[in-house]
Structure 1
Amino acid sequence: MPTIRKFQVTFDCADPVRVARFWCEVLGYVAPPPPEGFASWADYEDSLPAEKRGAWFACSDPSGEGPRLYFQRVPEGKVVKNRVHLDVRVGTGLVGEERLATLEAESERLVALGATRVRVLLADEENESCIVMQDVEGNEFCLD
């Protein structure tokens, strides 16, 4: 059986470009170059029928290490808690007050980008502290 080494994470959303740009800022990801024959993504979008404009967008880790993120427009809004979420690993290796201060600083940066802070989960006997957040369309993620 072959080993799968690459995967893509897909987000259903109302505004794929807005959500993708948010995640580019969070993770340091980049948008791919526009399709061949187009000087920009705007030029490409202008070539599409109105109902297909803004239907999807993608971004990727410039180092090639992380998964590609794909954002697709869907007609329904988010109704319940995500079954899958991203953990943004900004506090790896840190503990106690140092970890919490790092998470707090990143939380402030992401709130300025349009994220919403939901709650802080303080360290216990099993887990270190993390902060539960929502992206610009309400998708949950954790600062871990």
Structure 2
Amino acid sequence: MAAIRQIQVTFDCAEPERVARFWCEVLGYTVPAPPEGFGTWGEYDAAQPPEERGSWFACVDPSGAGPRLYFQRVPEGKAVKNRVHLDVRVGTGLAGEERLAALEAECARLIPLGAVRVRLLYDGGSDSCIVMQDIEGNEFCLD
């Protein structure tokens, strides 16, 4: 059996480009170049049938190490807690107050981008995290 070499994480959402650009800011990801023959993503989108315009967007890790993130428009809104979520690893290797300070600093950076702080899960050690939501209410953790 061949080894899996890459994964893509897909988000269902109402506004794919808006959510993708939020995650670019959170993770330091970038928007890839538009398809060949188009100077911008706006040009590409305008060339699509009306029902498909704005139906998806993607972003990538510029280092190539992280997974591609894909955002697809779906008609239904978010109704329950995510079954899968991202952990944004900002406190790796830190414990106690030092870890808490790193988590709080990242939380403070993300709130002006539209993230919402849900709660702090603080154990005083190296497993503390802050539960947050992105701009469409998808949960993620600052870990």
| TM-score grouping bracket, smaller chain normalisation | over 0.9
Q: Take 1:38 and 1:2, find their aligned partners in 2: how far apart are those partners?
A: 35
In 1: Cα distance, 2:84 partner to 2:121 partner: 18
- Name the TM-score, length of structure 1 as normaliser: 0.97
Deviations 1:64-91 (A, max 9, x none): 0000000000000000000000000000
- SS at structure 1 position matched to 2:2: coil
Distance 1:111 1:5 in 2: 34
Query: Which secondary structure state, in structure 2, belongs to the residue aligned with residue 101 of structure 1?
Result: helix
Q: How many residues align?
A: 143
Aligned equivalent of 2:99: 99
- Indicate whether 1:67 and 2:67 are aligned: yes
- Aligned 8 A contact 2:96 2:124 in 1: no
* RMSD, aligned CA: 1.0
Q: Residue in 2 aligned with 1:88?
A: 88
Is residue 143 from structure 1 mapped to residue 142 from structure 2 by the alignment?
yes
Question: Are 1:48 and 2:82 an aligned pair?
Answer: no
Q: Equivalents in 1 of 2:111, 2:50: separation in Å?
A: 32
Distance 2:27 2:88 in 1: 8
Q: How does the TM-score come out when normalised to structure 2?
A: 0.97
Partners of 2:124 and 2:113 lie apart in 1 by 30
Gaps of 5+ in 2: none
Output aligned runs, 1:1-144, within 5 Å.
1-123=1-123, 128-144=127-143
Identity over the aligned pairs, expressed in percent? 73
